[in-house]
Structure 1
Amino acid sequence: MAKGGSGNGNRGGQVNSEIVVVEDSSSPYFLHNGDHPGLNLVLNLLTGPNYHTWRRAMLMALTAKNKVGFVDGTISRPMSHDLIYGAWNRCNSMISSWIINAVSREIADSLLYLDSACDIWKDLNDRFNQGNGPRIFQIKKQLSALNQGSLDVNSYFTKLKILWDELREFQPVPIRGQILMMDPLPAINKVFSLVIQEERHRTVGYSYSGSHNSDPMTFGSNSNAPAGSSGGSKTRRDRITCSHCGFQGHTKDK
């Protein structure tokens, strides 16, 4: 009888512990009365090309509900005998339903057999998350093609601002920030390689800027210098200017 009584007491303690966690509104395991599997957290469904804006909207909604830990892996799946397993399982199923409700029908069908909200989130990221380079190109292309047309000023500006804001999110960060964001931190040889690459990129940029700003028709002491130019030693003011094209270093008849 003592043994049976002890078992009932442990079971009661487990139930009480789970109730405390579930009913604590500050706990990520807490579910509000208004939370249900058919809840729509965002207005626009994920179709693929809108992944980045969709992801940002979903993270805002999940943060407001204190559930981000279930999709970023912070709150991992407990063992089946753990006291909190039941609460985790309910929350995981609820969040999985929210994500599936927020994507298009074609995408939703491919997510039904994934076990956790974290697996679903990772699968969507692997499929639709593009590198910065291609996405920056797409945004700039959309910006260049965007015109007001029949839109009113407010609608046109809203579309323009969305593209501007997303482009700002993709702007490259300094090399130091890129290194510090790596997890785990890279070896010193890798850091050295990254710094060398950054230095080369900057050198190429400066070289291009210098050549772009210089006079394309400037001549040095070579055989192609126009007659009477004394090897290109004359000042810019004294150079010959073509009356046809406006460039210096030659005349219209030459």
Structure 2
Amino acid sequence: MSRKKKDENDVLTTRNSDHTGAIICTTIFNGGNYIGWSSGMRLALEAKSKLVYIDGSLVVPKESKVFDKWRKMDCLVCSWILNTVSDEIKSNYSSTTTALDLWLDIKERYQENNGPQAYQIQKAISNLRQEPLPACDCDPRTVCCYRMTKLVVQVDTSNKLTQFLMGLNKYFDNARQQILLMDPKPSLNRAYAMLLSIERQKEVQTLMNEQTDNFAMSMKENFDQQRSQNNTRNNRGK
């Protein structure tokens, strides 16, 4: 049996422990803990070779027999996700068609709420001693080392971005909030450029406001002066 065929069988096959009432993740999603819940669910699904049902990499089969197997497994994955969602939130997804749609709907609605949460966590631990980043002892040419290097760079970049945002004063609160809610997060250079752009826009707006105020004041002075001159002429004519 080819490797590809074996992987397809794993994706479409259920095990003895796979049933609709199973709770594969101990974290219950309550609307405010998306980061921890989604990470736990992804790990659990990957361990069961079912992560493809929510990451978009699985193409829905067209052959009827294979489609039936896929549909049954997809419904099972849906039930696993809903089993770890609070009853209050679960009621909003009673008519979701596929596991992927369910996963993306939850992500779209709740993921952005956790940007500030992650920021607060980083801020709370910012004074702790930073441990060395993970390293890989494999041959640099191997896939393992490549993935580890890429992961380390991503983690380091994310940490630097968060530390940079934490160092900003209250003047940039709105801009910081916008950056934290972005998905995916921008690079440190991009975030810096965004803040410079916002700063320039504020400077231009301030200058325009000052010019408008000066113009209005000048017009008022001219009007008062003209009215005073008219009153003087009227008084002389009496």
- Decide which structure has the larger Cα Rg and report it: 1
Q: More helix per residue: 1 or 2? A: 2
Question: How high is the TM-score relative to the length of structure 1?
Answer: 0.47
